Structure 1
Amino acid sequence: MSESNKTLDFPTILASSAHDMKNSLCLFVQAIESLAERMQGQPESEELARLHYEAQRINGSLVQLLALYRHEHEPLSFDAEQIFIEELLEEVLLNHELYAEHRQIETELRIDSELQWYVDRDLLSNLLNDIVANALRYSADKLLITASCENQQLHICINDDGEGYPAEMLKASTQPLQQYDFSASRTGLGLFFAQLIAQTHKNQNGCGHITLANGGELGGGLFRLVLP
């Protein structure tokens, strides 16, 4: 068969393109952060903060797209390592520091500094970055992240003081993975991605899961991640 007659593998091409875009976007985000640092206090810094936030959201979507493409062809790879949970959460908050400062949102991290857990650091980082980005978007002026060991499980809770999750989102979060609806909005994809990563963490005590609720410590939305 000649080269011109070969059938294009569009999903593979799309995944490869998304990977290249993600790498370029990371450089773009770094450039924004560098500019923002030099322009602190100037009117343009607010536009840079919004641009940084949207670039982070696009990057998160590309990460999800690549992960879901791989999941469709083979089980999601899982590389467990023991890490300090506080260090990971501090890194996640640092990724969103520019936007939080722009919106004057107070962020609080409440966790035992010695808390360690076996997780896939990259997968968990991707999940938490997406959830924190959304929580900051809908917070009024405060975000609280807690982490603790309860009944031999790791509980990470992300609380905001916004208006809470809409009813359809609360309902969607309880559905099995195979019933998630991606057609309505990016929300369906984000929830599927979070649940998929949670369930990838498993041992003899079971597998991880997520829950959404309203109320919590700040009266707004509460995202809870539970890992065995």
Structure 2
Amino acid sequence: MLKSIKGRLLLQIGLLLLTIVLVLEAIFAAAVYTYYFDSARQIVQSRAVTAATLSNQFMEGYTLPERARYILENLVPGESSRVEVLDLQGRTVVDSYGFSSSQRIRTPDVRVAQQGGVGSYTGYSKAFKQRIMAVSSPLVSYGEVIGTLRFSVSTEPLYREVAKLIGWSIGIGAAVLLLGFGLSLIIARRIVAPIKELTVISRKMATGDFTAKAVLKHNDEVGTLAESLNHMNEELSKSEKMKNDFISTVSHELRTPLTSIKGWGETLVVGGLEDEETTMLGLGVITSETDRLIGLVEDLLDFSKYQAGEIRMRSVPVDLNNLLAQLDLQYSLAGNRRGVVLSTRLPGEPLPMHADLNRLKQVFVNLIDNAIKFSELNGEIRLTAVREDLQVHISVQDDGEGIPAEDLEKIGRRFYKGSSKMSGSGLGLAISKEIVRLHGGQIKIDSEYGVGTTVTVTLPLAVESAEAT
């Protein structure tokens, strides 16, 4: 129970309610006790001080026994307090019941009164075996204290009344706790129920079921979580579809060259290698298809490194202009089956930078090959480099079929090949983007469907070398 959010929530709210109720109970009990006992003390003190004051004013010069008799004879009818007149030793001269006692009373109120003040005392009386409240006032004659007038009452009724009120407050506090716990249970259920629903949906997603959707019930943190879960669901669904498409495409791309290799291999075996022209044609096809397989495998290996974040750059000082010039020469001499011409326009100055030359060559070879693949037969592609301060912009432009608007933003994502029917793994651009990013640059794609595509690579130049030039 306590391991769940609901259990912890109930425990924390319960502890909070219990703390609040206990604090309020303590404050209420202290307030009730103080109110009742202070009120009773003020009443008793008022009577004691009034009686003593009258005696001190009008019976000055009288002896203590005479004063005691007069005070007791003139008590208010129905006086509920026990009235005692004590001598300086604390012995009872006479009390309201007509008794005297040689037993000394040395409670704090009596000692204060003997010093000329008005004292009060609340405690237990051994003589009467009950709790009492007493107020003592001095009896004075010619400026000297000759005795003490003491009023005392039983506090047992007060304690019973205070206990009754505190009992009622405890009952109310218990009811508040039960009500609060019930409301907490309802609140906890309302909070936890959507989370449980999201948990069920996330488990379905974990098993590959992306049809489940979270229902947005409230515009709060849980609602935001539901929106995020739905967004993640959509993205995972798209990624799953792209992955399946990617696997299908790669399987097809692998099957095609393997079928060609197997077919020509069987043809050469059956033919016995006697027809030289057929043999050379078959070997050429096998070599070409083997190169395709090697390219696909290298793409897959690079992509696995890209996925694991393990692509590493071996940066050395290079001149990018030399690399682009080599590519121009390479494609001019080698030509291609589609008869596409590469036109190059490079700056007349070096383009110094710190880079991994082989990785950058991989990027531009991929971009040029893509441009050739999607160009018209006997068309033209343009390789242009423009220096701008400490950056260089290299663009590869073709006049091919272009990229549909709905595919343009997705080109270069994982597992995404687009709607093109051209052969290829669809991994080259994703890998190229990662390589360029590791060099501190970026790739931008501009395309208009039916018109052509321009891919621009922006790379930083070496600061110290650039300044030297």
TM-score bracket for the superposition, by shorter chain length: 0.5 to 0.7
| Residue matched to 2:356 | 120
Paired letter, 1:145 = L
Give how far 1:156 is off. Answer: 0.8
TM-aligned CA distance change 1:73 to 1:161, over 3 Å = closer
* Aligned equivalent of 1:67, options 302, 321, 324: 302
CA distance in 2, matches of 1:86, 1:169: 32
Contact residue 96 and residue 133 of structure 1 kept, 8 A: no
CA distance in 2, matches of 1:114, 1:55: 39
| Residue matched to 1:100 | 335
| Residue matched to 1:149 | 387
CA distance in 2, matches of 1:183, 1:91: 31
| Residue matched to 1:134 | 370
* Aligned equivalent of 1:83, options 318, 321, 333: 318
Give how far 1:124 is off. Answer: 0.9
| Structure with bigger RCO (C-alpha 8 Å, 6+ apart) | 1
| Residue matched to 2:443 | 210
1:170-213 deviations in Å (ceiling 9; x for gaps) = 1114x7xxxx24065656422211211111112xxxxx111111
* Aligned equivalent of 2:434, options 182, 190, 196: 196
Q: Could you tell me which runs of 5 or more consecutive residues in structure 2 were left unpaired when the two chains were aligned.
A: 1-281, 419-423, 461-469
CA distance in 2, matches of 1:227, 1:137: 25
CA distance in 2, matches of 1:50, 1:167: 37
| Residue matched to 1:159 | 397
CA distance in 1, matches of 2:386, 2:300: 30
1:5-62 deviations in Å (ceiling 9; x for gaps) = xxxxxxxxxxxxxxxxxxxxxxxxxxxxxxxxxxxxxxxxxx9999888666544433
1:85-125 deviations in Å (ceiling 9; x for gaps) = 23212333454446635433221110114232322111111
CA distance in 2, matches of 1:88, 1:50: 30
TM-aligned CA distance change 1:183 to 1:227, over 3 Å = closer
SS in 1 for 2:392: strand
CA distance in 2, matches of 1:79, 1:168: 37
1:224 aligns with 2:456: yes
CA distance in 1, matches of 2:326, 2:287: 16
Contact residue 157 and residue 222 of structure 1 kept, 8 A: yes
SS in 2 for 1:172: coil
Percent identity over paired residues = 27
TM-aligned CA distance change 1:169 to 1:151, over 3 Å = farther
Instruction: Give the TM-score taking structure 2 as reference length.
Output: 0.32
Pairing of 1:179-194 with structure 2 (within 5 A) = 180-182=413-415, 184=417, 186=424, 188-194=426-432
CA distance in 1, matches of 2:383, 2:288: 19
Paired letter, 1:191 = L
Paired letter, 2:402 = G
Give how far 1:76 is off. Answer: 1.6
TM-aligned CA distance change 1:88 to 1:61, over 3 Å = farther
Paired letter, 1:223 = V
| Residue matched to 1:111 | 346
Equivalent residues, number: 173
